[in-house]
A = this chain, B = another copy of it.
Amino acid sequence: MQLNRIIANIFRKYLKPFGITDSQLSILFVLAKKSDLNQKKLSELVVLEKSSLNRNLSRLENANLISKNDFPYINITDNGRDLVLRITPEWKKAMVESEKLLQNDGKIALEVIMNNIKQ
């Protein structure tokens, strides 16, 4: 559980300059790939309770990163796509830093999965 907090702190550090949280970035990543998802589907994809998702969507809408205009479907805005592009390098840095930590704690199952995906 400590690892959860450590990794969360790492991501927070890298994402703070963009005024966005890791949950919100996850949402943008998904929306960048798929359009016309409703909140139910989105909440399953990003594994956020529906009320938490709903509030994150409000924040993202206020920041003009997503649009609720075509209810009930949620779509990313051009602004949102632009942010995803700009933020990805920082996100990668957070990943690298997290992976280093995970490797140090070799007993953690997470590491196995991360390595698998890295191929």
A8 touches B1 (CB 8 A): yes
A117 touches B112 (CB 8 A): no
Main SS class of interface, A: helix
User: Is the pair A107, B117 in contact by a Cβ cutoff of 8 Å?
Assistant: yes
* B115 in contact with A110 (CB, 8 Å): no
Q: Are B2 and A26 in contact (CB under 8 A)?
A: yes
The CA of A116 and the CA of B76, in the complex, are separated in Å by: 14
| Given A92-B117, A107-B117, A117-B107, A2:B47 Cβ within 8 A | yes
In the complex, what residues of B have CB within 8 A of residue A11's CB? 1
B residues within 8 A CB of A64? none
Residue A30 is within 8 A (CB to CB) of chain B in the complex: yes
| A residues neighboring B (CB under 8 Å) | 1-8, 11, 22-23, 25-26, 29-30, 32-33, 45-48, 84, 88, 91-92, 98-99, 102-103, 106-107, 109-117, 119
Closest 4 CB pairs of A and B: A2-B47, A1-B22, A29-B116, A4-B4
